[in-house]
Amino acid sequence: MIKKIVTGGFALAVLAGLPLGATAQEFTPDQPECIAPAAAGGGWDFTCRQVARVLREGGMIDGTMRVQNLSGGGGGVAFAEVVNKRGDEDDLIVAASTATATRLAQGAYPGNTMDQVRWLGTIGADYGVIGVRPDSDFETLTDLMDVLAEDPRQVSIGGGSAIGGWDHLKVLMAAQEAGVEDLRAIKYIAFAGGGEAISQLLAGSLQAYTGDLSEAMGFVESGDLRVLAVLAPERLEGDFAEFPTAREQGLDVVGANWRGFYAPGDMSDEAYDWWVGELGALYASDAWKTVMENNGLADLDLQGDEFEEFVAGSVSEIEEISREIGLIQ
């Protein structure tokens, strides 16, 4: 049985409140930039744009932070760009998540490894969701899994990560728990971002969507998406309390997608310390607490060396899961 929580060996509930990094005063970015390694509308895009907004509105950076969408290869295009062409830039950060660790664990970024970049910090964790159109015949997650168990080829499921990536992996975890025998036969279709996947769901090209709560909420609020299950250990609070968990539907599956940033591998120590401190200060701010509350983000507060250790654990854990499912040999 594959592990139910992919969090790099740390329990989410005990991670809040770790000491914040000190901000280095010797460095400030001249032209801060955040790369979102996917198309607009997905989780990485959300990460860059929300952080850029809070940093600007809170006066934590001068001016604005440029956000560049650089999609392809489940984040591999952006990773290669940073490693091969922008390795010494001090003003650049890149959105990352469990999806990044997944592709690294599976060797999907050819020639690239996690030690080629510097890991800055987290800004929370995002629970996975599986959803459908409001008029779908699937009323529950169990309904969907029953059809997959009968014939995995009957349903097309789309997400914003590459084949074998985190969105795909969440479906495989649920399907394995539901007793689906031929996991490889499940029709997963990869898109450049979660927003594109939901658009194709609404167009009728897909029957189900797999993604994360933060990227799905706008479509839920507009009435375009119905959540079959959130992959949280128990029902969330507030506006999210209406979403049933997979557990309460008989499938013991929990999937938390950490969100954070890496930086170029040759970024100066002064710049690295500054960015680590800024992310720590951002996480502690009331403005970011509001973002987390509004988007269903769970506590996950790590910076610097602690975050690097966490990512290494996440990569190792996902590699084990991927071997068990048969995604890698």
- Given this model, what pLDDT does residue 325 score? 75
Residue 7 lies in a domain: no
CA 145 to chain centre: 23
Q: Is residue 3 part of a domain?
A: no
pLDDT tens-digit profile, the chain (329 residues): 443 444 443 333 333 333 333 344 579 999 999 999 999 988 999 999 999 999 999 999 989 999 999 999 889 999 999 999 999 999 999 999 999 999 999 999 999 999 999 999 999 999 999 999 999 999 999 999 999 999 999 999 999 988 888 999 999 989 999 999 899 899 999 998 888 999 999 999 999 999 999 889 999 999 999 999 999 999 998 889 999 999 999 999 988 899 999 999 999 999 999 999 999 999 999 999 999 999 989 999 999 999 999 999 989 988 987 887 788 88
Count of structural domains, the chain: 2
The count of other CB atoms within 10 Å of the CB of residue 154 is 12
Question: Do residue 122 and residue 262 come from a single domain?
Answer: yes
CATH number of the domain that 208 lies in? 3.40.190.10
Distance CA 172, CA 180 (A): 9
Q: Are residues 293 and 189 in the same domain?
A: no
Name the residue range of residue 320's domain: 12-126+257-325
CB 310 within 8 A of CB 152: no
Q: Is residue 111 exposed (0-12), middle (13-18) or buried (19+ Cβ within 10 Å)?
A: exposed
**Strand segments (E) across 98-249:** 117-132, 156-159, 187-190, 208-212, 226-230
Residue at 208 is within a domain: yes
Beta carbons within 8 Å of 269's beta carbon, 6+ residues apart: none
The DSSP H or E segment spanning 289 is helix 286-295
**Residues 113 and 140 occupy one common structural domain:** no
Q: In terms of domains, do 131 and 227 share one?
A: yes
Provide the token pair at 131. 């959803």
Q: What is the pLDDT of residue 25?
A: 54
Q: How far from 284 is each of 91, 281, 308, CA to CA, in Å? A: 22, 5, 20
Q: What pairing do the DSSP bridges indicate for beta strands 226-230 and 187-190?
A: unpaired
Give dist(CA 301, CA 17) in Å, integer: 7
Q: How far apart are the first and last CA of the chain?
A: 17
pTM: 0.79
Looking only at the bridges linking them, the beta strands covering 66-69 and 117-132 are: unpaired
Contacts of 109 (CB under 8 A, 6+ apart): 73, 75, 76, 79, 80, 103
Domain boundary residue, one of 219, 249, 279: 249
Query: What stretch of H or E contains 309?
Result: helix 304-325
Same structural domain for residues 62 and 131?
Answer: no
Dihedral angle over CA of 134, 139, 144, 146, nearest 10: -160
What's residue 18's pLDDT?
Answer: 35
Report the candidate in 153, 158, 166 with the shortest Cα–Cα distance to residue 126: 166
Domain boundary residue among 194, 222, 249? 249
Q: What is the pLDDT of residue 107?
A: 93
Single residue among 215, 231, 249 that ends a domain in this structure: 249
Q: What is residue 21's predicted lDDT score, i.e. its pLDDT?
A: 39
Is 109 in contact with 73 (CB distance < 8 Å)? yes
Closest CA to 125 of 6, 300, 294, 276: 300
Based on the fold, state whether residues 240 and 133 are members of the same structural domain. yes
* Contacts of residue 126, Cβ cutoff 8 Å, sequence gap at least 6: 43, 97, 212, 213, 214, 256, 257, 258, 259, 295, 296, 297, 298
